[in-house]
Structure 1
Amino acid sequence: MSAQKRRQYTEEFKTEAVRLVQESGKPVAEIARELGIAENLLYRWRTEEHNARRLGTTRTNLKAEHEELTCLRRELDTVRKERDFLKRAGGVLREGAVMRYRAIRENVRRFPVRLMCRALKVSAAGYYAWHTRPESQRAVHNRALLVSIRAIHAGSRCTYGSPSICDALQKRGHRIGENRVARLMRLHGIRAKTVKKWKATTDSGHKLPVAANTLDRRFAVDEPNRVWAGDITYVWTREGWLYLAVVLDLYSRAVIGWAMGPRLTADLATQALTMALWRRKPAKGLLHHSDRGVQYASGDYQGLLGRAGMTCSMSRKANCWDNACVESFFGTLKKELIHDRRYLTREEAKQDIFEYIEVFYNRQRRHSTLGYRSPAEFEAMNQVA
């Protein structure tokens, strides 16, 4: 024989049963018999009603408050989902309906369709109508472009923005404009790394002779081995600071000399210049520009410049713009490599920086000043020795 189904009582029935006990003066057991319910059940209802009154409310009000709380929790959950969705696709609010529909389709496994439609201010019927239509040729092309954009972006170590990626696509044969590339990148959250501020290492508080600013910010150079520029920066490791000195040929912006060490010395700058001279073997009359730091004003460094027949030029005091090309290289290095790393040792940092300079920067990285070519590609086109 099956168990008897448990009876359900409404809130109104419970309230009236308790009121009957309170107003009739009859024992609880007698009222329970008259109502056909268990005596302990009526006792429990009376206790619940008493507790509710102590809290200043009624059973009905408690139920209403519970329902309201449940509703508020549901609404809060919806708001959170809308917020999370908008973090992923909020940029398309500035785009047309089709771009919004695509954002919904890409997130359909994460969020309810109606929630996304409401967040992006489009109708669910419009989305479903669009979703069932055959995909346009432009949409198919955009999907193929997106694959190429992601590959180029990843190959650049996430450093390229829309101009560089557009140029790379055009050189691969795509007929596409920068605005379209920028729109696709924005829609899919593809961004170039941003620059962080860094501290200069120049110590110009010395009494050594300094040279005039002969370069005078004329950074556009028509021939190789006519103007070089040098500077020093630093990289933090768990072992302490690692200092990096470089020499750039302003014609191609290539790093032609570099040296790294644990101390900020004149010898570090001299090593970088020695490498550049060994690589390029320039004719006499080359202009060498640097800041007026003690490393570049030292006797050893100036002696090396003199023996190579190079003319010295130095930035004005506390004016980083006078050596903007090398400052720009250091900013690029730190943005694209250093700020994403946590080096345990100086040797680990050295290997990483060496690979960045010699493999990536000089031979692969596109430079807008060079017509979106790498320094090596630019020099090869002009047969630099």
Structure 2
Amino acid sequence: MKIATSLVLGKKASPTLVAEAVAIAMLKADITVASSVLLLLTSEFADDPQPAITAAAKAANCTQVFGCSATGIFTEEDWVLDSPAAAVMVFGGDVSIQTAKHHQPDQVLLTISAPNAINSTWLNDGNARYGGVSGDAVGQGPFSVWQNAKGGNTGKVDAYIAGVKLATKASHGFKMLTKPKQIQQTNDFDIALLNNKSPLAALQKAWKIYSKSDAPVPLHLMMAVYADSAEAINHGEFNQTNLISIDEGTGRITLAQPLYVGQFLSWGLRDQMFAEADLLLTTQQLKQELGTNPDFGLLFSCLGRGPFYDGIDHDLKIIAQQLPNMPLIGFYGNGEIANIAGKNQLLPYSAVLSLFAEISTT
């Protein structure tokens, strides 16, 4: 397998730093010409990424350079925040990244998008997708996206990886606090009545039982988990959104997006321990689905996960323990893209892991 990664830090964002990262990865992969390159840069490169992209193309002797800038980037070896850096995965042999126009209908698309380029029509255009959204925690700040060694005006990468078998899945990483209950009354973004009860009262009760205290509900850690049926939620085929505010007087809860009467809703709690356990299970399930040891992997992780818990990226640690020495690359973004129950979803606080095994041509 002619695939390898490298991660290089520097004092400033320069094309030389990027060329060095590509050269190291090429040496590790034992190739002199790459079929394609996945190039991830920190936000210091975002205002003018083209010199860095061109340097990567020259060092790899190819024009198939895809990627983006992001607040944080990583490989299987380490992660970087708040410092100029380049993470590179080079591809040789029969495995390569190709633009989506060449893909077959059943191939899952590698998708990278700037926050302002996301729209529901494109997200669910009939192609199953996996990937992430470049940008900081609130979708602001500098970011850039590129393919074919050029920064794109569309703000999106639509590509696929040829010559491989793929297994991909989202790891949500939260604990369900309540069983699914049917929504009976809404008002725009407000949930007004849930299973004949106040939504806030149900949430407060569930939090009190879980925390064994009278502490206020930590809204920033809560998730609204919803689907068209209770069975879908129980089987992990659900959507999720953030809680924005609560109304102590009416018992209503305001969400980041509107839900509808007849849908089912559960309250979930973001938690580091459960996030780790869920990613461990996800990694094991994907390896089993793939049916062989993966040759490389991609990980798209939320800015609210990884090292943002306690300064250690437990997600990377788990994957390295389960799949030692596997080349891995990814970034921390402000939205993760995965296909769940036949529909592409833009997820918060999740990690989307994709594992690949080369398809033998012999």
TM-score (norm 1): 0.23
Larger CA Rg, structure 1 vs 2: 1
Higher relative contact order (CA 8 A, sep 6+): 2
- Normalized per residue, which structure has more helix? 1
- Normalized per residue, which structure has more strand? 2
TM-score (norm 2): 0.24
